[in-house]
């Protein structure tokens, strides 16, 4: 069962966070939602999410995948947090999966992990980073998966399932969703 870390910052996009958490748990992934700060996290639209734990409690743990939700200012908090930056670099060094959606790829760019890669993000989220977004709903380049924004959250999460557990696992989660 893949082990997944979702760091959650104040101002995260709740539609993305909840969709990713839900679908990965439907796939029976072991998902840990870790708040950057102690206690509940207030997301960008006022939804409050109670993380499973604090980020400090999982800094020594190994994960198959680290996923960064977008939203502002949540994505900027992820980008600017030295603990998150260290985790991202460590994950890349051990050839683990990394994923970010919407403005979340800002943190991957800050960590120096997107150079020469095919990535997507929310319009303008990567301005000033030297990284160009393709504008596609989801991009997979090696072990880095990026998504465009809230509207692509379900496709993004399903792609993560497929990357880590295969097409059959994705189909098992997607079928009961009754997507058009």
Quick one: pLDDT band at residue 80, thresholds 50, 70, 90? very high
59: helix, strand or coil: coil
Digit-coded pLDDT (tens) for 40-69? 999 999 999 999 999 999 999 999 999 999
Neighbours of 166 (CB within 10 A): 11
pLDDT of residue 7: 98
For 96-117, what is the mean pLDDT?
98
Mean pLDDT of the chain: 98
Distance separating alpha carbons of residues 176 and 165, to the nearest angstrom: 17
CA-wise closest residue to 91 among 5, 33, 1:
5
Active-site residue list? 102
CA-wise closest residue to 3 among 97, 93, 81:
97
Quick one: pLDDT band at residue 157, thresholds 50, 70, 90? very high
Q: The domain at 3-173 falls in which architecture?
A: 3-Layer(aba) Sandwich (3.40)
pLDDT of residue 133: 95
pLDDT of residue 48: 98
pLDDT over 70 for what percent of the chain? 100
Distance separating alpha carbons of residues 147 and 89, to the nearest angstrom: 20
97: helix, strand or coil: strand
Quick one: pLDDT band at residue 117, thresholds 50, 70, 90? very high
Residues 6+ apart with CB under 8 A from 157: 19, 20, 22, 23, 24
Distance separating alpha carbons of residues 178 and 180, to the nearest angstrom: 6
Check if the beta carbon of residue 35 is closer than 8 Å to that of residue 55: yes
How many CA atoms are closer than 13 Å to the CA of 43, on its beta-carbon side?
18
What are the residues facing 41 on neighbouring strands?
49
Please name the residue ranges forming H helices in 94-139. 105-110
């Amino acid at each position: 069962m893949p082990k997944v870390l979702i760091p959650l910052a104040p101002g995260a996009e709740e539609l993305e966070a909840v969709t990713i958490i839900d679908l990965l748990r439907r796939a029976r992934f072991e998902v840990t939602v870790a708040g950057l700060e102690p206690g509940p996290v207030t997301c960008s639209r006022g939804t409050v999410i109670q993380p499973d734990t604090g980020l400090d409690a999982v800094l020594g743990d190994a994960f198959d995948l680290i996923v960064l939700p977008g939203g502002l200012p949540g994505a900027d908090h992820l980008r600017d947090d030295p603990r998150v930056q260290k985790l991202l670099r460590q994950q890349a060094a051990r050839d683990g999966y990394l994923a970010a959606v919407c403005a979340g790829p800002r943190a991957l760019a800050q960590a120096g992990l997107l150079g020469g890669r095919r990535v997507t993000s929310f319009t303008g989220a990567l301005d000033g980073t030297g990284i160009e977004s393709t504008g596609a709903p989801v991009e997979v380049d090696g072990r880095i998966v990026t998504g465009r924004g809230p509207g692509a959250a379900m496709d993004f999460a399903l792609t993560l399932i497929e990357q880590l557990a295969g097409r059959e696992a994705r189909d098992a989660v997607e079928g009961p969703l009754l997507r058009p």
